[in-house]
Amino acid sequence: MRITRLLIAGLLIVSATAHADSTSTQATAGLDINDKTFSCIRDMTKVRGFYVGSLTDNLEQTLAVANTSDGGTYPAGSVVQLVPGEVMVKHPEGFSTATNDWEFFELDVSPAGSKIRKRGFVDVVNRFGGNCFGCHIKAKPQFDLVCESTHGCDPIPLGKDMLALLQKTDPRCENNEALTAEELQKLKMLQQAFAKP
């Protein structure tokens, strides 16, 4: 199964590359993504509770989809983050049909930057045992696998204030503000709740 998928992915890349050569204006192979692709979450553009960016200088189109209330298909190059350690990136159309061309990433973040811990399409499982795709595919089809709190996905156990705190304390950011005593307390509770046994 996995080998078949790899083979298919390989074939797709080969045919996509050949296609790109013949047209030379459009890159239809997957995007080149590595540790350096990701940095401080707050340097991205905030939309409601999450952040978006573009790897292909197409932020306007990404924002156009993110800002509608009735959904839409995110353009290739879109990057979406809610918490520092998890990212979705949109590849060119046809790159991963099963996931609407989204690739899921789990990152280890530190003041030194991001390290990709896991990446992939239908089989990335986060550090809490949840399959990214398994949850995100439950978003109503018009929302292109973007869950937010109202699109039909199973909820995550983090409230708005906790999410805001994780964004505020992204260790990759250089300008993190000092936390209030109350925020420190919340962060401590969060770390304890999610500590590995």
Q: Enumerate binding residues for ligand HEC (CB under 6 A).
A: 49-50, 80-82, 86-88, 104-106, 124, 126, 130-132, 135-136, 146-149, 153-156
Rounded to the nearest whole angstrom, what is the least distance from the CB of residue 124 to ligand HEC in the complex?
A: 5
Of 173, 190, 195, 163, residue with least CA distance to 39: 173
Residue nearest to ligand HEC (CB): 130
The Cβ of residue 45 has, within 10 Å, a number of other Cβ atoms equal to 14
Identity of the residue, 56 or 131, whose beta carbon is nearer to ligand HEC in the bound complex: 131
| In the complex, least distance from residue 157 CB atom to ligand HEC, rounded to whole angstroms | 8
Quick check: helix, strand or coil at residue 12? helix
CA dist 98 and 96 (Å) reads: 6
Closer by beta carbon to ligand HEC, 111 or else 155 = 155
Q: Which is nearer to ligand HEC, 28 or 99 (CB)?
A: 99
Spatial contact of 12 and 94, defined as CB atoms under 8 Å apart: yes
Tell the smallest beta-carbon distance from residue 150 to ligand HEC (Å): 8
Residues 111, 117, 121, 123, CA torsion sign: negative
